[in-house]
Structures are given as C-alpha cells and as structure tokens.
Structure 1
Amino acid sequence: MPPKLPDTPFALVDLARVDRNATRLRDRLDGLGVPLRLHVKTVKSVELVRRTHGRAPITVSTLAEAEYFAAAGYDDIVYAVGIDPHKLPRVAALRARGIALTVLLDSRAQAEAVAAAGIPALIEIDADGSRAGLRPADPLLPEIGAVLGDRLAGVLTHAGGSYHAFTPEARAAAAQGERDAVVGAAEVLRAAGMDCPVVSLGSTPTAHTVRDLTGVTEVRAGVYLFFDLVMAGLGICTLDDLALSVVVTVIGHRPDRGRILTDGGWMALSRDRGTAEQPVDQGYGLVTDLAGTPLPDLLVTGASQEHGILALRPGSGHPLPELPVGTRLRVLPNHACATAAQYAFYHVLADGALSRVERHTGW
C-alpha cells in the first residue's frame, strides 16, 4: 500500500485479485464448454469489465447500466430483471441504436407488452422457489411463449437458493437443480413447437460448483470478480480472494465498552448483514490491517451513518488491539454489490500504485 492515501472512507480494489478471480472462472467455464455472460451489477465499471471480459456479451440489472455500457461499445446485453412495461421505450431506444438488448419476464401481461413493442424476451424460470419466475411444469410457460411468438429468445434462471447452500453436497444439488430447471423449461417450449435458442443460468456459487452444463448456452455470474464474506462463508472462495475492501480510519475509542470507532459507517459499508444466517457471522464486516491481514476476531459490530463500531467477536479470547487514532484499516464487506454501490469510483491498487476508476450508479 503506498504511503500517500486518499481521505477515508474509500473503496479499494486489489487488481491482482480481480485478475486471479476472473481467470479462475473463465478457465472453469472454458473447460465445461459454455461461455460466460458477465453480470456487471457488482463492478459497474467499464474499465474493470473490459479488462476481465473484453467486449463479450454482458448482463445488467438496471437500464442505466445498459445505457452506460452501450455507450462504451457493448452491444449484446441481457437486462436480467423482470421488465416494467413503462421502461420499454428506453429499451426500444437502445435497440434502435443497434444494441441487441433482451429483456426478462414471467407473466402474460409483460409478454403482451413486449410482443407489441417487438422486443425479444427471455422467460424467467424458477429453479428453487427463491424469487421470481415460472416452474418448468407451469402451464403458463408455453402460453407465454406463444404470446411472444418470434420474440421468444429463450429461458433464464438464477439459483438464489445457492446462497444458503453451506455444504458441498448442498451446493452441488443447487447447481444441478438450476441446470435441470432451465433445460427442462427449454424442452417444454420446444415440445410445444417453439424455438428456444438461449438457455441461460447462473449465480456465483453455482458457476463455481456445477459439473454438467449439457443443454445450457451461457452462464451468468458477477460478484466473483470481487468475492465477499458471504461467498467466503459458503466456501466458494477464501478471504485471500476478496478483491474489494473499504479503507477506514480510527477516530476514537470507548475502552469502557470495548469499542474502537472509525469513520466508516453504513454510508461507507452498507447495512448488509448477509453473513448473519451463516455459520460464522461477520457483523458488518471483517477488519484487517492496511496490508490486508485480518486482526484476530475484530469485526464491525455496529454502524451508524458515518461511524463504524469495532469490537471483538462474542466469546473471543483475544485482547482488543491497540489501534491509535489515525490508524488506517481495511474492512472486508459482507456483500460486495451493496458496498460497492456506496461509491462513485474505486481506488484501484496495482503494482503498489493507486488510480481512480469510474463506477456507474443509478437506475
């Protein structure tokens, strides 16, 4: 870490770890013979996406992302959130510029609006009951396909339940269930006489676990570029793989309460408590020194708007470390997407030097 640092808090990205994480998944999917459609919702940075993914097809979670990446030359985009018909004019405007933008839906009302607008759509499939979509056996599936007609692009699913798969067996079952659901849905549509060219699945846990992608045309994942404490808690990565952290500064002490105060509150870290239901609860984040070495059992246990409260993990046998006012620390986040969303840019660490990289925001 260079001696000259920006004012805290700031979002720090370790570029060597980003590169390593990108290579790991790319090599894995190459071995399985299926391309990656990177989900940019985590990094939301043209520079980082271009470095790790080139100009290959991408997934977005907002139309603002689609517009931002389209302006940078990305012309094959899936908007992987159920389409609001009021947003179709924005979709049409992008398509009029030559952007192959495909939307997502799971209802007849959406399908009718999308078909009338002449926009291609994927039907969302529910692989595990965790969120939206249709089960493969739902009679509405071929009905919606018929409404879309030649605007039917295929099917898409996301195994959200994989975020609660804490054993290798559970992760394998989630990955297999995701694949079986989306391939089964494609077979239903084809049996009804419809083309189903795209069979898309993905989440970071299943992408790193799945062994059989027969019948799948693409995999989507995004948080893997940064990873986070939730992914580490699932066993998908180690703490050494986490590429995003928040640099904070010690601003006070409450020895009577066993607390250390920093300038990194929830406005810097987010309120995400994604590890609360995991076997190891990491509070609002795990604290490391500036070099990235975890300080034994030291967590962000509380957060107000601009104050982070550091304390030892309950039951810890370690002493509270002596961290004078002015000490710089790093906090590893629970959920990289939520933490990154607090910032308009990253400070990227590469070869001992820091540079600023733009990050897109908004909807």
Structure 2
Amino acid sequence: MTNHSALPTPSALIDEKKMSCNIDRMQRRIAELGPRFRPHVKTSKCLEVVQRQLAAGAQGITVSTLKEAENFFAAGIDDILYAVCLAPNKIEQAASLIDRGCRLTVVVDSAAAAGMISARKTPLGKTFRTMIEVDTDGHRSGIRPQSEELLEIGKILAGGIAELAGVMTHAGSSYDVDTLEALQEIAEQERRLCVLAAERLRGAGYDCPEVSIGSTPTALSARSLEGVTEVRAGVYVFFDLVMKNVGVCGIDDIALSVATTVIGHQPEKGWAIVDAGWMAMSRDRGTQKQKKDYGYGAVCDISGAVIPGFMLASANQEHGILAAENGIAAQDIARIFPIGTQLRILPNHACATGAQFPEYRTINNDGSTAVWERFHGW
C-alpha cells in the first residue's frame, strides 16, 4: 500500500489477497465434502466481498438482519436465508421481500413461532419458506433434535400455509476448543444431530428437504457431511484472532485489520497511545478466555507484518493503549513507536470490529486501495 501517511485513522482495512485465499480455501473444502455452500455475510455486510464469494461458487447467502436481506436483494441476490428466529414485528418486512421476488427462508425454534408463521400468507398470497432451528450443542437457540416439540413444530408448519424447508443448526461451541480432535468431534455432533432431526421429521411424514449446518471451525474440520445439503460459515472470509487461537487459521491469514496512528506516550508505563480505541476495535475480548490473550488486538506494522511482543493492551472510547505483552514497561516505547507511526491492529472478532465502520479500505493486489461500503442497521 502506498502513501501510508495519508491513510485516515482509524480505518478498517481488507487485504484482498488474503481474503481471496480464505474464500477459495473454504469453497474448495465444502466442494470436496459435497454440499452447497451458503456463506454467512454478516461478517462483511459488504456487496463487493459477497460478490467474490458468489463468484467462487457459493450458492445463496445467509444474513443476520432483514436490512442485510433488503440490501443484498436490491443488488440482485435473491436466495437468502435469514438465520435469526423471525420476530412478530418483522413479519411484514419479510413478507414484502417475498412478494418482491426474494426467495427468503425464515427460521423458527418454537411451536409458538411456528403457529405465528403457519397462519400467515404474504399480501400477494405467497407462503413463508421456514426452517426449524435445531440445538446441537447447547450453545444458544434452537430445539433439541430428540424433543417432541420438533415434531409438534413440523405438524404445525405442515398443517398450515407455510412451507417446511428443512432444519438448520450452528455449532457455536466450536469456538471454545482449540484442537483438531475436539473440532472434528463437534463437527460430527453437529452433522449427526441435525441429520437426526431431519430424519425424525421425515419419519413422521413431513417433508424436510434441507439440512443446513455450519460454523467456520466445523466447516473446516468436518470429516464427513453425509446427509447435509448445505453448509454456512461467515468469519472465515476475514478470520480473526479467536479463529487463530481455535486453530483453523494462522495469524497471517487474517485479512481484516484496523489502521491506527500513534498519538502519544506514557514512557514510565511503557505505553504508546494510538487513535483506535474500543469504538474502532469493538469491546469484544474473545481471546481473553483462550490460551493466548491478545488484549484488544495484535500489533502489526503498516504493511501488515506482526510486531512480536506487543498488543493493544487496553482501550477507551477513542484511545488505545499499546503495551508489551508481558506487561514489562518498555522505557524506550517512544523510540520504538514514534508519534505519527501508523500501524495495523488485528481484531479479536472480525464481525464485531467490522461493525464499527461504515466502509472498508481495501488493499488491492497491486498495492492500490479502494473504498467498499458496509451495510448497517436492522
């Protein structure tokens, strides 16, 4: 990247070469295992990024907000899974998308929510394609695949206006381990239990065509996806320090960083003060509970090379405190990082850090930069 001193800070930077390698790696991996790949675009919320994922072979997208669905549909992407249980106050927004031609799939995880959907048609008389969220690891939402409520939901959807599109799950517990063996075990549990839910529905006489699973760690670790029709993953497109600690990427694979400038020092404390605080990095401290704690982020020079021994140790709203990882005060901190020095900080959680910015500055393969807009809102 040229003319570093002119770079506004803080800025969210995408290394296009690294991002492209990440996209290709995931697409090849899922193609080898057989299912379709439907990326979760909440990580980037950026059309240019998603266009590259689709060009690599992805089929459809996953979103976390209806605002994302609106924006991507307006850009011509019409196969969209809204992977958050549909709230009553969002039914009309979802119905409008469907009536305009979006092949939107919604999600429920309770009989109450299924009843709400099954009794509805869109204003133009179209139906809601609906997936049942299955809890395969106790991580968050969904219903247990062995539960009677699963069949009750199937009955409600089959007996109403809605279309039962299938079952889906997210193995979020994969973020809590850091060995290949543990990741493979969680990946197989995710696959087996989601397939079990589909088989129970089919055994009860209900159509259940789709089995959708996914997280970045399990997608990259699964040994078999038998019975699975599609895989979803999101953070792989950028990766981050949590994923590095989990073991599914190296630190050099992380494609998102935050450019920042040194604005001051506290030499007696061994601190350099930068203009990227938690408003730039987010408050996500996901590495805090892992074996390697990176504070608010790992420190790189402006070209992206990691500077060993330092991290963004703490942060206020607009101030970041860069310090030695071992806590030992570096009395020559002002010499190491003079005022005006521009750096990059690698994030703990790419999704959360990206969300702090209205746009990305993308570093192209030839060293030039481009500005890519990022979607916001719900």
Structure 2 length as normaliser, TM-score?
Answer: 0.94
Instruction: Tell me the SS of whatever aligns to 1:59.
Output: strand
- Conserved 8 A contact 2:136-2:190: yes
- Conserved 8 A contact 1:267-1:342: yes
Please name the residue that 2:353 is paired with: 339
Specify the code of the residue in structure 2 equivalent to 1:257.
K
- Conserved 8 A contact 1:244-1:332: yes
- Conserved 8 A contact 2:12-2:257: yes
- Conserved 8 A contact 1:12-1:348: yes
Distance 2:179 2:361 in 1: 35
Distance 1:29 1:206 in 2: 11
Shift of 1:295: 1.3
Matched, 1:97 2:100: yes
Shift of 1:314: 2.4
Shift of 1:47: 1.1
Please name the residue that 2:110 is paired with: 107
Matched, 1:297 2:309: yes
Instruction: Tell me the SS of whatever aligns to 2:351.
Output: helix
Paired residue for 1:173, among 173, 185, 189? 185
- Conserved 8 A contact 1:297-1:318: no
Distance 1:157 1:81 in 2: 11
Question: Where does the alignment leave 5 or more consecutive residues of structure 1 unmatched?
Answer: none
- Conserved 8 A contact 1:42-1:336: yes
Specify the code of the residue in structure 2 equivalent to 1:208.
L
Deviations 1:318-344 (A, max 9, x none): 876511100000000000000000011
- Conserved 8 A contact 1:114-1:120: no
Pairwise mapping of residues 123-272 of structure 1 onto structure 2 (< 5 A)? Answer: 123-149=132-158, 151-272=163-284
Deviant stretches of 4+, over 3 Å: 315-321
Instruction: Tell me the SS of whatever aligns to 1:342.
Output: coil
The two structures, once aligned, show a CA RMSD in angstroms of 1.3
Paired residue for 1:310, among 315, 322, 330? 322
Paired residue for 2:288, among 259, 267, 276? 276
Shift of 1:161: 0.4
- Bigger drift between 32-41 and 306-315 goes to 306-315
Paired residue for 1:122, among 109, 128, 131? 131
Deviations 1:169-198 (A, max 9, x none): 111111001001100000000010011011
Distance 2:50 2:31 in 1: 18
Specify the code of the residue in structure 1 equivalent to 2:21.
R
Distance 1:179 1:291 in 2: 40
Kindly tell me: are residues 145 and 354 of structure 1, through their superposed partners in 2, closer, same or farther at Cα, counting changes over 3 Å? same
Paired residue for 2:79, among 73, 76, 79? 76
Identity %: 51
Shift of 1:51: 1.7
Please name the residue that 1:323 is paired with: 337
Please name the residue that 1:3 is paired with: 3
Instruction: Tell me the SS of whatever aligns to 1:39.
Output: coil
Paired residue for 2:362, among 348, 352, 357? 348
Please name the residue that 2:124 is paired with: none
Instruction: Tell me the SS of whatever aligns to 1:299.
Output: strand
Shift of 1:6: 2.7
Please name the residue that 1:52 is paired with: 53
Please name the residue that 2:374 is paired with: 359
Distance 1:318 1:256 in 2: 8
Distance 1:333 1:141 in 2: 38
Structure 1 length as normaliser, TM-score?
Answer: 0.98
Shift of 1:289: 0.6
Corresponding pairs, count: 363
Specify the code of the residue in structure 2 equivalent to 1:360.
F
Please name the residue that 1:285 is paired with: 297
Kindly tell me: are residues 29 and 320 of structure 1, through their superposed partners in 2, closer, same or farther at Cα, counting changes over 3 Å? farther
